[in-house]
Amino acid sequence: MDLTAQNISKTAPEAPMIDPFGRAITYLRVSVTDRCDFRCTYCMAEHMTFLPKKDLLSLEELDRLCSTFIDKGVRKIRLTGGEPLVRKNIMHLIGSLSRHIEADRLDELTLTTNGSQLARYAEELAACGIKRINVSLDTLDAEKFKTITRWGDLAQVLRGIDAAQKAGLHIKLNAVALKGFNDHEIPDMLRWAHGRGMDMTLIETMPMGEIDLDRTDQYLPLSMLRASLARQFTMTDIPYQTGGPARYVQIAETGGRLGFITPMTHNFCESCNRVRITCTGTLYMCLGQEDAADLREPLRASTDNALLSEAIDNAILRKPKGHDFIIDRRNNRPAVSRHMSVTGG
């Protein structure tokens, strides 16, 4: 399979996609698979039923879909999963999409990974023009790591991080803050990450999909965690941005940056520039809402992109102002029925 032979559109980029609230949509997150080699307790049930492989978009279709969004003004693409690096032949897609970076039609191509496959793919990722990646890592304790991921091996992930840094990739660690599990470990993780030149971002758990636990037992407001960290670290708000929803502080004691993603305590919807596509071609205009648009049908209905482009435009006009996430004892059902691994975060 050779995707790199596809031509880059010769037409000038269209006007930026603008949603009903005046926000330009310049960031696309693409789930290339709902499958994962971990079973993180806050993300999915242990015994998941994944999509039949026949329902997934082909790599060629994913490439065409991404390229159409680039034509329409997207400047950043993040590949997600599940775990994106378990998708068969995923490097063919990444290598093909890198042509848009070389042509200055895309500012950044990146991915979020659990790190399990990084030792295998790090050098190839760097060769494809990927400069930085996010690695999801919630603890540096091997036993706790096994508990939270169910199937994961911390040593394998750490080898992957080593390989990625050796290949020249910049890494940001993403940690979901979980009450009574890793909250007391965060300061040491922060020192470890910054000591290795990695930024770190803390994320509140989100009510997506049925899991085996009660999320009210896991949920830790980052406002509380930040107040706790302020007793150990000097934190200064900074305007640094990576295109996502994190708000960053500079840590004086370590010299590194710490981000906070707070969908529950302080949503980031006012500046949302993102839409998400699932591996089946469903476009979600908001992570925390059920409204979606099917792009697979117009993608397959014609060899040109007119129908696809029209479907995208109609969907962007339905992008909501924000999400309605709630976690408390009265609302312990998921806000949306799909698991995070379906949408890709």
Q: Give pLDDT tens digits for 260-316.
A: 998 655 555 777 889 999 999 999 998 777 789 999 999 999 999 999 999 999 999
Whichever domain contains 287, its CATH number is 3.20.20.70
| 7 located within any domain | no
Q: What is the pTM of this model?
A: 0.86
Give the H or E element holding residue 112.
Answer: strand 108-113
Of all residues in the chain, what percent carry a pLDDT higher than 90?
A: 68
Q: Which domain holds residue 199?
A: 17-343
- Predicted local confidence at residue 334, as pLDDT: 45
| 9 located within any domain | no
Q: Which residues are annotated as a binding site for S-adenosyl-L-methionine?
A: 42, 82, 136, 206
Range name among 72-81, 215-224, 285-294 with the lowest pLDDT average: 215-224
| Residue pLDDT, tens place only, 158-195 | 999 999 999 999 999 999 999 899 999 999 999 999 99
| 4 located within any domain | no
Please compute Rg for the chain using Cα positions: 19
Residues near 341 by Cβ (< 8 Å), separated by ≥ 6?
A: 31, 34, 35, 36, 43, 44, 48, 81, 82, 209
**Residue that wins the pLDDT comparison between 329 and 212:** 212
Q: Which residues are annotated as a binding site?
A: 29, 36, 40, 42-43, 78, 82, 112, 136, 172, 206, 269, 272, 274-276, 286
Alpha helices in 253-334 (DSSP H): 296-301, 306-316
| 181 located within any domain | yes
Query: pLDDT at residue 337 above 80?
Result: no
Query: pLDDT at residue 326 above 50?
Result: no
| 311 located within any domain | yes
Q: Are 187 and 231 in contact (CB under 8 A)?
A: no
| 114 located within any domain | yes
Most confident segment among 6-15, 284-293, 326-335, 336-345: 284-293
Query: pLDDT at residue 242 above 90?
Result: no
| 10 located within any domain | no
* Number of domains composing the chain: 1
| 5 located within any domain | no
| Residue pLDDT, tens place only, 84-119 | 999 999 999 999 999 999 999 999 999 999 999 999
- Predicted local confidence at residue 44, as pLDDT: 76
Residue with tokens 């698991």: 339
| DSSP for 236-271, written as a single string | EEE----SSS-EEEEETTT--EEEEE-TTTS--GGG
- Predicted local confidence at residue 105, as pLDDT: 97
Q: Which residues are annotated as a binding site for [4Fe-4S] cluster?
A: 36, 40, 43, 269, 272, 286
Q: Which residues are annotated as a binding site for GTP?
A: 29, 78, 112, 172, 274-276
The mean predicted confidence, pLDDT, of the chain is 87
